[in-house]
Amino acid sequence: MPNITMAIDEELLGKARDYAERKGTTVNALVRELLGQTIDQEARIAEARKGLLELMHTSTARLGKDYKWNREEIYEDRMLPRHERPPLRGLNED
């Protein structure tokens, strides 16, 4: 496995060594793990972005570039029309 040389602040290195000791590992292993996680995260983000773009291009929903969202349309299925009211408990019970 290749070696690399890093420049790091003395205080940070001391804290890293203390942390590694508490975790039962080495600073070298911590750096390797952090780099691996960073690269994996970037790959997952790129894959998710690719999936979203594919979904956008294959979606059959086309609203058009001039479409404006309408609040009533968005909440249409969640709200009762203005003239309808839900029954109140204790009132109007026959």
11-27 pLDDT, tens digit per residue, is 999 999 999 999 999 99
pLDDT, tens only, 30-76:
999 999 999 999 999 999 999 999 998 888 777 777 777 777 777 76
Ranges of H-type helices in 24-93 = 27-58, 71-74
Report the C-alpha gap between 66 and 19 in whole angstroms: 55
Lookup: tokens for 49: 């972005």
In the chain, the number of structural domains is: 1
Report the C-alpha gap between 88 and 75 in whole angstroms: 22
In a domain, 17, yes or no: yes
In a domain, 52, yes or no: yes
Domain containing residue 36: 10-59
Report the C-alpha gap between 14 and 20 in whole angstroms: 10
pTM to 2 decimal places = 0.54
